[in-house]
Amino acid sequence: MKRIQSIFFLLLLLFIGCKNSTSKQLGKAEKIGAVKPMVSFTFDDGNTSDLANFQFEEWNNMILSHLEKENLKAIFFVTGRNKLDEKGQLLLKSWNNKGHKIANHSFTHPNFNSEKNTSSLFESELKRTDSIISNLSNGIKLFRFPYLKEGQNQAKVDSIRNILAINNYVNGYVTIDASDWFVDQRLRQRIKEVGFEKAEIEKFKAFYMKHIMERADYYENLSYEINQRHINHTLLLHHNLASALFLGDLIEEFKAKGWEVINAEEAYKDQIFENIPSSDFAGESLIYSIAKQSGNYDQTLRYPAEDSRYEKAKMNALGL
Ligand SMILES: [Zn+2]
- pLDDT given at position 22: 42
How many angstroms does the Cα of residue 150 sit away from the middle of ligand 1?
13
pLDDT for residue 13 is more than 60: no
How many angstroms does the Cα of residue 9 sit away from the middle of ligand 1?
54
Rounded to whole angstroms, the Cα distance separating 288 from 175 reads 8
**Contact at 8 Å (CB) between 130 and 124?**
no
How many angstroms does the Cα of residue 185 sit away from the middle of ligand 1?
14
- pLDDT given at position 6: 55
Domain residue spans of the chain: 33-317
Average pLDDT, the chain: 92
**β-bridge pairing 101-104 and 75-78:** parallel
CATH number (3.20.20.70, 3.40.50.300, 3.40.1110.10, 3.20.20.370) of 33-317 reads 3.20.20.370
How many angstroms does the Cα of residue 70 sit away from the middle of ligand 1?
25
How many angstroms does the Cα of residue 147 sit away from the middle of ligand 1?
6
How many angstroms does the Cα of residue 122 sit away from the middle of ligand 1?
15
- pLDDT given at position 24: 43
How many angstroms does the Cα of residue 109 sit away from the middle of ligand 1?
6
| One-character DSSP codes across 207-261 | HHHHHHHHHHHHHHHHHHHHHSSPPEEEEEEESSHHHHHHHHHHHHHHHHTTPEE
Q: What is the pTM of this model?
A: 0.90
* Cross-strand partners of 78: 45, 104
For 234, left (φ over 0), alpha (ψ -120 to 50), or beta?
beta
Under DSSP, is residue 75 helix (H, G, I), strand (E, B) or coil? strand
* Cross-strand partners of 45: 78
CB burial string 109-120: b at 16+ within 10 A, e below: ebebbeeebbbe
Residue range 37-80, pLDDT digits in tens: 999 999 999 999 999 989 999 999 999 999 999 999 999 999 99
- pLDDT given at position 17: 46
pLDDT for residue 33 is more than 60: no
